[in-house]
Amino acid sequence: MIGAVGSMADNAYGNSDFHQQTGKRKHRDRERYQAPAGVDDEDDEADYENIEDSIEMEEKKPNQTEAFKEEPKTQAATNHNVCGTKSIVFLYVLLIASSVMWAALLSLLFVKCTAEIQTLKTLLTEKGSAEIQNLQTLLQEKDSQLSSNVRNLEKDISSLKTKDSQLSTNVRNLETEISSLKTKVCDFRTCPCDWQEFSGKCYYFSKGERDWQKAKEFCYNQDAVLAMVKTQQELDYIRGKITSNHWLGLSDLDTEGAWKWLDGDSVNLQSGFWDTNEPNNSGNEDCGQLKFFASLPHKLNDVSCTINYRWICQKLL
């Protein structure tokens, strides 16, 4: 179609050029054949008419040629229009067929996807139901096992409580028997229980601490007195029993500087019982103690009566 249009345009341009050239040629001929001076006018006019006739005949020839040319061009244009219409109809038919085919493919794909989704839903439902059932069964088994374990633990706790009660009863019975045995043993001894015998006397070594006055009262309540160490044997015996400072039954509370035992006997200041430079009454020291030395023999010493120490009670058999 584009070629036909181009051909028609070329013919049109060709005809236009032809007419322009023909007009120019006529003008040149007219100028050339104008009558010069001294020539006969009639001959010139006859020649001019012959020339015009020739020119008209030349002009008619292209027109006839163009007529012959235009007739096939019209036929070609008609044929071209028919072909264009058929092409458009074919394109429409092809478009409709493609649309129908795509619609069919999409429908088929949709049906297939729907079927697969339904299958997956069914499988998921079945699998989920089976899984839930398994979990429920497992949970029931675990719950039953836990309940059994709890019951067993409760039984064990009850049994342990019973055993603990029995042990407590047995311990109390043993304590009663031990106390009874102690009483029987003490009945056969010459000194009370927790007292120790030496050289016809009973001695009690305290475990707690008190000041001198309260320690003396404790011994009085036991029908005893704070220990009075008057012999080297007694001093050596007591030294082997203690590991700290202990109150003894001596003081100078009645008369400053006059140290006496609780029975009124005076204490020999020149004996070797006293520590070096003691008693010195440094800071109102009026009560006597047996001072403990880890690596030296224990010695008598004067200290303040308000300090808390352990003490030693003494009484006769």
- pLDDT digit string, tens, across residues 209-267: 999 999 999 999 999 999 999 888 999 999 899 999 999 999 999 988 889 999 999 88
Q: Which of 63, 97, 131 is the last residue of a domain?
A: 97
Rounded-to-integer distance, Cα 201 and Cα 220, Å:
15
- Domain coverage including residue 296: 195-316
- 234: domain CATH number is 3.10.100.10
Identify whether 237 is part of a domain.
yes
Residue 133 lies in a domain: no
Higher-pLDDT residue of 98, 182: 98
User: Between vectors from CA 236 to CA 248 and to CA 253, what angle results, nearest 5°?
Assistant: 20
Residues 93 and 200 in one domain: no
Q: 144 lies in a domain?
A: no
Confidence (pLDDT) at 251:
94
Question: Is 139 part of a structural domain of the chain?
Answer: no
pLDDT digits (tens, 9 = 90+) for 55-78: 556 555 554 544 444 555 555 556
Give pLDDT, residue 195: 94
* pLDDT for position 5: 36
Contact 193, 185 (CB under 8 A): yes
Asked if residue 111 belongs to a domain, the reply is no
Consecutive H or E run containing 316 = strand 310-316
Give percent above pLDDT 90 in the chain. Answer: 42
Torsion of CA 111, 116, 121, 127, to 10 degrees: 160
Residue 240 maps to a domain:
yes
Mean residue pLDDT of the chain comes to 79
Residue 249 lies in a domain: yes
Q: How many domains does the chain have?
A: 2
Half-sphere exposure of residue 75: CA atoms within 13 angstroms, side-chain side: 6
pLDDT at residue 274 in the model: 87
Q: Is residue 126 part of a domain?
A: no
The Cα–Cα gap between 96 and 21 comes to 56
Give φ, ψ of 302 to 5 degrees.
Answer: -100, 135
3-state secondary structure of 261: strand
Domain-terminating residue out of 75, 97, 119: 97
The confidence score (pLDDT) of residue 25 equals: 62
Least confident of 153-167, 184-198, 249-263, 297-311: 184-198
pLDDT band at 286 (very low <50, low <70, confident <90, very high): very high
Count of other CB atoms within 10 angstroms of residue 69: 15
Number of Cβ within a 10 Å radius of residue 203: 20
Choosing from 97, 114, 146, the residue where a domain stops is: 97
What digits encode the pLDDT tens for the residues 4-56?
A: 434 443 444 444 454 455 555 655 655 554 444 444 445 555 555 555 555 55
Residue 303 has pLDDT above 90, yes or no: yes
